[in-house]
């Protein structure tokens, strides 16, 4: 197995390349509501798409960015009185679209939660800098150390999508802790050595929902740039064995997927790990991945990951 160096130099390369019951929830596309029962206050999405999952005491509004930026998911948890935002986007423009949508719900934003370091999940946090930003201590430290750097090296390729300054999380989430907001319970878990070295998942026991974010992708290419193949597979297997939730929300791709997405991800990781151990270039790995998964979205993630897996000497 090749040695993977997640150095500052590699970060440069990577950035430049550019229902109503507590059973199964009711999932409705915001685009098709047209002012119906759940359509109150919904607005058309100019850039991304919004999906609403309705529960007895809460709703989850899930925004998905265009394929151009990797089909990244942001989730708005709507409690009876407040809103909780989970993850930003790689674009402050998309972040503003989410903020505008949240404003139509007519409730204050209680907090913003960042799941992990990768910029496609926190650049858009800039549009929520006026509310408390929560994250794991490790993620706070990573953004503090690398945030300015990510912003500077992203400007040439992303331009107006890049925030003018980093927003560092200012409230720490502890592994195994929980919050209860208007009767809606959020349970936090720190996952290590998976898609990113440090990641946060959120479990909503009453709704039987697991917000997995980048621990799981749905019909999108997985970013394997950290090379944590075994650790990621172990986490997915634990997720698969957990029968406490009915819906798992991914960090990339359509939220209407099922537990089959977990099996798909395990197969994908095993395949990429096997090919990676045999090839010598990123082009060879990319060709093999695209041949095997021609219909998967977020192809750009393959190019970015290969800059980490095959660093230039």
CATH number, domain of 145, equals: 3.60.15.10
For residue 60, is it within any domain?
yes
* Full domain range(s) for residue 292: 8-309
CA torsion 256→215→118→1, rounded to 10°?
Answer: -130
**What is the number of domains present in the chain?**
1
For residue 186, is it within any domain?
yes
For residue 2, is it within any domain?
no
For residue 153, is it within any domain?
yes
For residue 96, is it within any domain?
yes
For residue 1, is it within any domain?
no
Nearest to 124 by CA among 83, 154, 145, 80: 154
Phi/psi at 132 (5° precision): -60, 135
For residue 35, is it within any domain?
yes
pTM: 0.87
Integer CA distances (angstroms), 243 to 216, 218, 260, 292, in order: 16, 19, 13, 30
For residue 3, is it within any domain?
no
Q: Are 302 and 220 in contact (CB under 8 A)?
A: no
* CB-CB neighbours of 98 under 10 Å: 26
Q: Encode the chain (313 residues) as per-residue pLDDT tens digits.
A: 444 444 443 443 344 333 222 233 333 333 322 222 233 333 457 899 898 989 988 999 999 998 878 899 999 999 999 999 999 999 999 999 999 999 999 999 999 999 999 999 999 999 999 999 999 999 999 999 999 999 998 899 889 999 999 999 999 999 999 999 999 999 999 999 999 999 999 999 999 999 999 999 999 999 999 999 999 999 999 999 999 999 999 999 988 766 889 999 999 999 999 999 999 999 999 999 999 999 999 999 999 999 999 988 6
């Amino acid at each position: 197995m090749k040695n993977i160096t997640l150095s500052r130099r590699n970060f440069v390369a990577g950035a430049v390349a550019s229902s109503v019951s507590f059973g199964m929830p009711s999932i409705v596309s915001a685009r098709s509501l047209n002012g119906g029962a759940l359509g109150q206050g919904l607005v058309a999405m100019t850039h991304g798409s919004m999906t609403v999952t309705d529960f007895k005491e809460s709703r989850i509004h899930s925004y998905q960015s265009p394929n151009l930026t990797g089909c990244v998911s942001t989730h708005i948890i709507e409690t009876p009185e407040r809103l909780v935002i989970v993850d930003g986007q790689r674009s402050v423009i998309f972040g503003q679209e989410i903020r505008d949508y949240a404003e139509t719900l007519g409730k204050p934003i209680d907090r913003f939660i960042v799941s992990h370091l990768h910029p496609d999940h926190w650049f858009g946090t800039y549009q929520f800098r006026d509310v408390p930003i929560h994250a794991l201590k490790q993620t706070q430290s990573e953004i503090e150390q690398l945030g300015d750097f990510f912003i500077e090296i992203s400007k040439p390729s992303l331009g107006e999508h890049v925030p003018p300054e980093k927003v560092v999380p200012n409230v720490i989430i502890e592994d195994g802790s929980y919050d209860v907001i208007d009767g809606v319970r959020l349970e936090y878990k720190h996952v290590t050595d998976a898609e990113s070295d440090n990641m946060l998942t959120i479990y909503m026991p009453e709704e039987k929902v697991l917000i997995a974010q980048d621990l799981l992708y749905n019909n999108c290419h997985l970013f394997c740039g950290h090379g944590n193949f075994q650790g990621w597979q172990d986490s997915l297997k634990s997720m698969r064995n957990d029968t406490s939730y009915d819906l798992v929300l991914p960090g990339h791709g359509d939220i209407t997927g099922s537990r089959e997405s977990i099996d798909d991800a395990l197969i994908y990781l095993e395949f990429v790990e096997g090919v990676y151990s045999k090839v010598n270039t990123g082009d060879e790995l990319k060709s093999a991945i695209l041949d095997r998964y021609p219909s998967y979205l977020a192809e750009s993630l393959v190019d970015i990951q290969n800059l980490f897996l095959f660093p230039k000497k």
